[in-house]
Amino acid sequence: VDEFRLTYKDRSFFLIKESDKWSIKKPFETGADQADVAALLSTLSSLSAHDFIDEEKEDLIKKISPPILKAVLKIQGEEKVVSFYLPTGRKKGIMYAVTVNEDPIYIIDESLFKGLDRDLFRLREKQALDIKEESVAGIEIRKNNEFFRLVKEKDNWIINGKPEQMIDSLKIAGILNLLKEIRAERFVDDAPTDLLRYGLSKPQSMINLFDNDNKPVGILLFGMEKGGMIYAKNDKARSIFLVKKEVLGSIPDTKELTGN
């Protein structure tokens, strides 16, 4: 599958694969949750009928239109379409799947459809920072009015340019693993015009990752607190989201890293 559209009664999505990675193009452009897209396509490809309807198909479909979901998949330039309908009288536990006119109406278990029900939050990328550990050669952390810089020199990590103060590589790995695990709990603004209201115009806390050439690998900003969570934003997208408050507390300070 190279791209696909999902059209529900009240929402629709268009996703496309670019360089082996899925992205959402509509309702707006943003990253997609790769695992969730894979699960969705796996569910579609594994659907099978336990019965069929061959007679008076067109009249039946007219009675139960519109579909609750229409999926259009493009595979090597060819479109494949399947639409899902709820039967009249709500026959318990079944749904109808319709492909092309010459095929029968497929009767499937309604429970299988749960694997195809998606909203925008579930489909979109929720990882706060998409990073590759091997590309990170430096980390800048601002937290609790403290700022420090960790740099990898050969196989050693040093803090604030002090060669005599090496940091255990396991602690660095712990920071990177923590960053990879941070997830958006909720998206609050996909087209922000004022970062100040979220405390993100001049954030008190931030993490900046860079490579061997001192080029940014990823930046994560933390803003004001709201309801036990914290506003956050990365440098790859416009969207502002909320992360758990304890995330910020889990990021070590210089005392935790050096023991001093």
| CA 60 to each of CA 54, 76, 90, 182, 220: distance values in angstroms, whole numbers, following the listed order | 11, 32, 13, 48, 53
What value, to the nearest 5°, has the Cα angle with vertex 225 and ends 220 and 226? 120
Closest CA to 113 of 173, 59, 70, 158: 70
CA distance 27 to 12: 7
Contact 222, 250 (CB under 8 A): no
| CA 126 to each of CA 130, 222, 249: distance values in angstroms, whole numbers, following the listed order | 10, 16, 20
pLDDT at 15 over 70: yes
**Cross-strand partners of 73:** 4, 80
pLDDT at 91 over 80: no
More confident call, 207 vs 165: 207
pTM of the model: 0.86
The answer for residues whose C-beta is within 8 angstroms of residue 29's C-beta and 6 or more apart is: 23
Mean pLDDT of 243-254: 93
Surface-to-core class of residue 213, CB atoms within 10 Å of its CB (0-12 exposed, 13-18 middle, 19+ buried): exposed
Expressed in angstroms, the distance from the first to the final Cα of the chain is 54
pLDDT at 90 over 70: no
pLDDT at 144 over 90: no
pLDDT band, very low/low/confident/very high, at 184 (cuts 50, 70, 90):
very high
Quote the percentage of the chain above a pLDDT of 90.
Answer: 81
Q: How far is CA 242 from the centre of its chain?
A: 14
**What mean pLDDT value characterizes the chain?**
93
Contact 206, 223 (CB under 8 A): no
Instruction: Output the CA torsion 117→120→126→130 (10° steps).
Output: 110
pLDDT at 114 over 90: no
How much is the pLDDT for 101? 86
pLDDT band, very low/low/confident/very high, at 164 (cuts 50, 70, 90):
confident
